[in-house]
Amino acid sequence: MIKLYHMHTSTCSKRVRITLAEKNLEWESVHIDLAKREQIEPDYVKLNPNGVVPTLIHGDRVLNESNVIIQYLDEVFPEPPLTPPDPYDRAQMRIWMDIFEHRLHKNINIVSWVRQERYKRWENMSENEVEEVLNKQPSPERRELFRKRLANGVSQEDIEFAEARVADVLDLMEDRLNSGPWLCGDAMSLADISVVPFIERFEANKMSKLVDWVLRPSLGNWWQRMQHTKGYKEGFYFPPPD
């Protein structure tokens, strides 16, 4: 039995839903509402010590980290394979996934704070309430990140720097996709799945240059291809809870 703790709009949750759909796996949904801070409730933190989504439960096994979860799923449910057979291609796949999490996701998150108005989750709270929520954050890094953002905000300069770092990653992808339809190997892999949820986020964040496919035509073609995959069609969207 597979149970996924996720949020309908979360990019990391989408990675897992897309992989589950590609593999045609049945799963039970437990929706975690980040705006209501359900991710830092003590019962959930027992499953995910960082207080983030997603978390996957497979039988009695608990897994965190979306890129690790999708690698686990691909190993346990090998059909259809989403990892290239060649060890070098597999290494490249993991490098891409690392770039997507630690460069792309990290920088998108900075932009989303302003453009997706994430700061509004902290409005209309007294100083004590803010402090209480910060202290409930299980991860010291996230606690400090929120504390700094609430104190100093995110400047236009920060946004421009973050957007430029995302553009660097897209340039790397364009370069790679000039010589083949997928990021590594001959078929779609977990690397492609790991990044695809972010493309829609560029539009939502009004990062129009990043979705101007005249500037990056190979990436635009890849994006078209990805939207036609079973995983994307079935896993990207999840109905919001009532």
Ligand X SMILES: N[C@@H](CCC(=O)N[C@@H](CS)C(=O)NCC(=O)O)C(=O)O
Instruction: For residue 107, state whether it binds ligand X (rule: CB under 6 A).
Output: no
Binding to ligand X (CB under 6 A) within 138-197 occurs at: none
Interaction between residue 70 and ligand X (CB under 6 A): no
Among 52, 70, 99, 190, binds ligand X (CB under 6 A): 52
Choices 61-69, 71-79, 83-91, 209-217 (CB under 6 A): range interacting with ligand X: 61-69
Task: Name which of 217 and 240 has its Cβ closer to ligand X.
Answer: 240
Looking at the Cβ atoms of 5 and 77, the one nearer to ligand X is 5
Q: What span, in angstroms and rounded, lies between the C-alpha atoms of 228 and 207? A: 23
Q: Is 19 in the site for ligand X (CB under 6 A)?
A: no
- List C-alpha distances in Å: 44 to 19, 67, 215: 23, 20, 43
Q: Tell me the residue type at 214.
A: V
77/100 with CB nearer ligand X: 100
State the CB neighbour count (10 A cutoff) for residue 170: 20
The alpha carbon of residue 208 and the mean position of all alpha carbons in its chain are separated, in whole angstroms, by 20
Q: Select the residue interacting with ligand X from 18, 20, 53, 226 (CB under 6 A).
A: 53
How far apart are alpha carbons 13 and 66 in whole angstroms?
7
Report, in Å, the least distance between residue 215 CB and ligand X.
26
**Paired tokens of 204:** 């939502």
Distance of alpha carbon 78 from alpha carbon 57, whole angstroms: 18
Q: What is the 3-state secondary structure (H, E, C) of 73-115?
A: HHHHCCCCCCCCCCHHHHHHHHHHHHHHHHHHHHHHHHHHHHH
Only segment of 65-73, 84-92, 183-191, 215-223 that touches ligand X (CB under 6 A): 65-73
Which of 38, 65, 89, 174 contacts ligand X by CB under 6 A? 65
118: number of Cβ within 10 Å: 17
For ligand X, the closer of residues 103 and 225 by Cβ is 103
Helical H runs in the chain?
11-22, 42-47, 66-76, 87-99, 106-115, 127-136, 140-152, 156-177, 190-204, 217-227, 230-235
Q: How far is the CB of 207 from ligand X (least distance, A)?
A: 17
Shortest Cβ 135–ligand X spacing (Å): 14
Size of the site for ligand X (CB under 6 A): 12
User: Judged by CB under 6 A, which stretch of 7-15, 170-178, 223-231, 232-240 contacts ligand X?
Assistant: 7-15
Cβ pair 209, 167 in contact under 8 A: yes
Q: Which residues bind ligand X (CB under 6 A)?
A: 10-12, 34, 39, 52-54, 65-67, 101
